[in-house]
Structure 1
């Protein structure tokens, strides 16, 4: 896939965070689970638990001089399902660590809306951030991976996955998948950035509070945003 093709096909990205997360993300950047436990000085035993095993619930973090943070749950995955779909010699622990080292973005608004309606999240408000793809890709292209599936879910019939699931932009087979009748929302499903996006506020167009697919409140809007820049 060409970088220009990625930007043209998917001009906006979306990220779902926990309710109330925007001020901390704005001021300190978007951090992967690994970046959070490093920044918040989590001890070795808790770090191994948070990064190498499934998190059934959100984990709150605190540290002097930093705002409260949350390492999000991994309810849509199970070890049992991962054992059925992981390829090669990967273990569930390997998969959790791989995902926990990256930040995640959706490339279709309907996917982030669907996530807010999922059983695990539909009853609680969520913070949904809308971003400009071009500027984020321009600044972080060398740290970006693309995924053809929802890598953090093993619901229903889990799709095969492994180390080769994620591709750098030039290596992603977008045209081949398009020829196989994959519509854009089911071609590139996730965009991932290694470790963290410290300056994420530079790319944000809008921030909304949502619950079960409905926008409850607009928390912030860029002067450059259009009326369409929402989940």
Structure 2
């Protein structure tokens, strides 16, 4: 796939963040778990647990008033990952792989599906809408595309390995039309997007699939 076809098909990308985190994201950028741990110099056993272990609930890192919430990994229990992983990658290695990346949905329907999921539909979130073309002009070489929800194993632990992530120019397309063989589900960036505010066109406070109000950029 080429970048122009990608942004034509998915002109906006979507990121579901914790409630009241837009101001922090605007200041610090959109950080992966690994980037957040680096920022607050979390090391040793605590880092090992957060980076390579399963998080059944949210974890807060950093000082009071300037902390970052690491999202839970409820849909990615280790026993289910053991069934899903097919390339020799261990659950711990999978957590570490995903913790080193920033994730965005390629389609709003996928965002709504997550917002309405059982564990999240009662919560409020700050939802970022991102201009894909502007993002790709700066970060295309750091982008991976994925045809599935890499962090979910419900209701079925679909088979997966490291090769589900492909660089844009390696993502399989149909020879006749240039369309993707499988629709892109996740657009992923390595480590962090420090300048994410440059690409965000809208921030909405949402609960489930309902917009509660817009948040000033």
* TM > 0.5 fold call: yes
Runs (5+) with no aligned partner, structure 2: none
Q: Provide closer, same or farther for how the CA distance between residues 190 and 202 of structure 1 changes in structure 2, counting only shifts above 3 A.
A: same
**Greater alpha carbon shift after TM alignment, 34-43 vs 187-196:** 34-43
What does residue range 140-219 of structure 1 map to in structure 2 within 5 Å? 140-175=139-174, 187-219=183-215
**Alignment correspondent of 1:26:** 26
Task: Tell me what 1:87 maps to.
Answer: 86
How far apart, in 1, do the equivalents of 2:180 and 2:105 lie?
A: 20
Query: Number of paired residues?
Result: 216
Structure 1: unaligned runs, 5 residues or longer:
222-231
Counterparts of 1:188 and 1:213, CA distance in 2 = 21
Match of 1:72 in 2: 71
Offset from partner CA, 1:94-135 (integer Å, 9 cap, x none): 100000000000010111111111011111101100010001
1:163 offset after TM fit, Å?
1.2
Q: Is the 8 A contact 2:13 2:106 kept in 1?
A: yes
Name the residue aligned to 1:43.
43
* Structure 1 runs of 4+ with >6 Å offset: 178-182
Q: CA deviation at 1:174?
A: 3.0
- Report how far residue 175 of structure 1 moved: 2.4
Distance in 2 of aligned mates of 1:175 and 1:152: 26
Q: Give CA deviations for 1:33-92 in whole Å, capped at 9, x if unaligned.
A: 00001101113111100010110111111238x722111111111111111110121100
Matches of 1:44 and 1:193, distance apart in 2: 25
Query: 188-197 or 34-43, which moves further after superposition?
Result: 34-43
SS at 1:122's partner residue? coil
Change (3 A) 1:125 1:80: same
Deviation at 1:180, TM superposition (A): 10
Residue 174 of structure 2 aligns to a residue whose secondary structure is helix
Bigger mean CA offset, 100-109 vs 81-90 = 81-90
Note the aligned Cα RMSD (angstroms): 1.8
Alpha-carbon distance between aligned partners in 2 of 1:22 and 1:93, rounded to the nearest angstrom: 30
